[in-house]
Amino acid sequence: MSSNWCTIESDPGVFTELIQAMGVSGVQVEELYSLDDEEFNVHKPIYGLIFLFKWTTEFKDTRPTLEFYDPNLFFANQVINNACATQAILSILLNRPDVDIGDELRALKTFTREFTPELRGLAINNSDIIRNAHNSFARPEPFVFSQAKESDSEKDDVYHFIGYLPVNGVLYELDGLKAGPIALGECTEDDWLQKARPQIQQRIERYSQSEIRFNLMALVRNKKEQAEQQIQHYKSRRAAIRAKLMSLGGSVPTDGTQDMDVDFDPEEIASLPNSVQELTQAYHECRNQIERYEMQLRMESDKHQRWKEENIRRKHNYVPFLFEMLNILARKGQLNEAVEEARKVALQKQEQKAQRKAEKKQQQQQQQ
């Protein structure tokens, strides 16, 4: 496996910027906090689900994978270390014809159409735009660690990402570490989330006795664009209602809106009711919907701005600042004291971590 791919944080803001950097438009990532229909409905349309879990050899998955499957299904083996999140995202994007994936990913999908899953994985590894987008989240590493330190890091917990989505009437689980996709049954665009729910719940229950760290995210339509389109739709409808009210000699509500520069379809006027009362009610409904979506647009704009600022901090190199801070502490004669205090805190954290591991091991032994 190639080792020149960095580890990136599992975060909706990170994944949204990653998707945009690969040339995809109109998509963002949202974190889901439950598997309830209410949670799904908040974020629809949902293009696919990404599930993060702790990878372990303790549980063996004996479900059969497909050797022959829909030729329109893009499935690639993971041949890259640290890239399972990006690959899970790609497995959804490259299987959704209703998403604008951009010229680069579209060319990659066309070029690899007749490839084996392993060769597709290698093609992803060799894609400059995908690798550069992924590695743009690499944290600055000013220090060279020893081989012993690298060996210790191999013992750290390993997490893995898999994707769930419908393709041509079949629900698939796509895991790049498996030989092929797993078919989970027939579905439609309307019920695939309900059919994916028990599959994810079963996986959570399998690990829940020893692991509580799971993460479920959804690739959804860009909510800022959704809100903007809905605002324009209701403004256009309100302008048509205003025009018809004036043609009927009715009084136009005086709420400070004119809609004079808003275009509308003349045919929409013919579809509106002829009752002044009904038109006035429809006018107020449009105003309420516009206010609702304007509030949603403000919230989404604030969220995207927060994501942007957080990502800037993730990528920023704070090492020069830290060195300068240490120099200042040294000049003031406070460095040794600060180092000793930091050493005590680090030792305390190590002891707490060792205690948690011991308690976890004892619980597992008792369960056996």
Catalytic residue positions? 84, 160
Give the whole-angstrom CA distance, residue 286 versus residue 237.
7
Amino acid at the residue 170: V
With H, G, I as helix, E, B as strand and everything else as coil, classify residue 94: coil
Length of the chain: 368
For 88, half-sphere exposure in the C-beta direction (CA atoms, 13 angstrom radius) is 26
Give the whole-angstrom CA distance, residue 5 versus residue 7.
7
> Which structure tokens are listed for 276?
């002044």
Is there a contact between 237 and 268 (Cβ–Cβ < 8 Å)? Answer: yes
Residue 32 Cα distances to 46, 49, 88, 108, 297, angstroms: 11, 9, 16, 30, 20
Q: Which of 351, 329, 348 is nearest to 339 (CA)?
A: 329
Is there a contact between 184 and 51 (Cβ–Cβ < 8 Å)? Answer: no
Residue 343: count of CB within 10 angstroms of its CB:
10
Give the whole-angstrom CA distance, residue 323 versus residue 334.
14
Give the whole-angstrom CA distance, residue 224 versus residue 235.
17
Give the whole-angstrom CA distance, residue 283 versus residue 253.
8
Give the whole-angstrom CA distance, residue 277 versus residue 322.
68
Residue 106: count of CB within 10 angstroms of its CB:
13
